[in-house]
Amino acid sequence: MKHAKIGLIALSLMLVLTVGAPAASAQAEHVQWNIASVPCSGPGGTYPCTLTPGGSATATATDCFIPGVGCTSITLTGSGTFEAPSSGGSSSAVTGGGTWKVTAADGTVTSGTFVVTQLVQWQKSEPLDVPQCFATDCLTIDLIGNIRDAWGGVAVLRVAYSDGTTGVVTFACSGLPDPAAVAEGVTATKVVQLNNIAIPGINVPPLPPNFPITKKPLPVFFWSAGVFQYTVEFHVRD
């Protein structure tokens, strides 16, 4: 293993898979997913690390990158399962979900739960290359599955939110041998009640002082998850 890249696991998004059969067998993969956390106790947040269930992942909307506008974000937790067909297509054999919390740019917070309704697509990347563990010097402890059966990749899931809206959630992971071009983080789509405010100098001419401001349900794409921040683990069984 390249130890320089191993150190990034403290803040990385990992997809961990326990592979029950070789890919050549063309069998469906039965996957358990968890949004996890990776606390590390080494110098500067490096190894040794522990892969732990019960984490959270936050993604931000476009307004977070416009000065003076505010920042709309979504935070997800959860776990569940899905069956990934050997064809690489979609599947309705899914379970699980979690919680969501949206903080709008004006500070309004809404929250609830979500359930997964469909697997849209699952694609695997390269397996992690984890060094042999000896007695007390194992660099990673996996409290969810076997760290030696780990993969990077992307899982796209349709979800239903408890407020009656629907959306798509994507989990992406760069495994340790993967190049930096392989994404890490989460994205999510959701309809959110937002102030329908035109911004003078950005998308409209200056507005009059009495311009009406109303709450509107608007589609939001939460896409900026940052780099090396979140962990999603997947364990596969036949």
Query: Mean pLDDT, to the nearest integer, of 71-87?
Result: 93
Whether residue 97 is predicted with pLDDT greater than 80 in this model: the reply is yes
pLDDT score recorded for residue 137: 57
Q: Which two tokens stand for residue 96?
A: 């699980």
> What local confidence, expressed as pLDDT, does residue 3 receive?
32
Interval 176-214: pLDDT, tens: 667 777 777 789 999 998 887 777 777 777 777 777 778
Q: Following CA atoms 75, 77, 82, 88 in sequence, which dihedral angle do they give, to the nearest 10 degrees?
A: 30
pLDDT band at 128 (very low <50, low <70, confident <90, very high): low
pLDDT at 227 over 70: no
Q: Which residue has the higher pLDDT, 55 or 141?
A: 55
pLDDT at 73: 95
Q: Tell me what percent of the residues of the chain surpass a pLDDT of 70.
A: 77
Does the pLDDT value for residue 4 go beyond 50?
no
Query: Which secondary-structure segment (H or E) carries 104?
Result: none
Annotate 159-180 with b (16+ C-beta within 10 A) or e (fewer): bbbebebebebbbbbbbbebee
The confidence band for 39, taking pLDDT boundaries of 50, 70 and 90, is: confident
Burial of 24 (0-12, 13-18, 19+ CB in 10 A): exposed
**pLDDT, the chain, mean:** 79
User: How high is the pLDDT of residue 5?
Assistant: 33
Tell me which range, 60-69, 100-109, 139-148, 200-209, is most confidently predicted by mean pLDDT.
100-109
pLDDT (average), residues 165-185: 81
